Amino acid sequence: MTTHPNRHELLAHMLRDLRVQAGLTQTDVASRLGKPQSYVSKYEGGERRLDFIELSDLCKALNTSLSGFVKAFEGHS
């Protein structure tokens, strides 16, 4: 059972916070992923959902472990 009303919103918020804490712009992250800036903007804004592979790649681009990110997400949801 989830304690957060919208887990997709939580995921987007956590990814944005992680990017900001890393001192990166959306353009920086997009460049690391080989994607346009709009890709980052859309998942941070909740317009786009990420699949597992994309989330894994994103964690690498943000210099964090996927397992650590998942644990943090589970702690919030």
Contact 54, 11 (CB under 8 A): no
Mean pLDDT for the chain overall: 93
Contact 68, 60 (CB under 8 A): no
pTM, full prediction: 0.86
Helix-, strand-, coil-residue percentages of the chain, each rounded to 5:
70, 0, 30
36 C-beta neighbours (distance < 10 Å), count? 13
Confidence at residue 2, expressed as pLDDT on a 0 to 100 scale: 46
Q: Which superfamily does CATH assign the domain made up of 7-76 to?
A: lambda repressor-like DNA-binding domains (1.10.260.40)
CA distance 33 to 70: 20
Among 37, 43, 40, smallest CA distance to 12 is for 43
pLDDT tens string 23-53:
999 999 999 999 999 999 999 999 999 999 9
Is the pLDDT confidence value at 3 over 70?
Answer: no
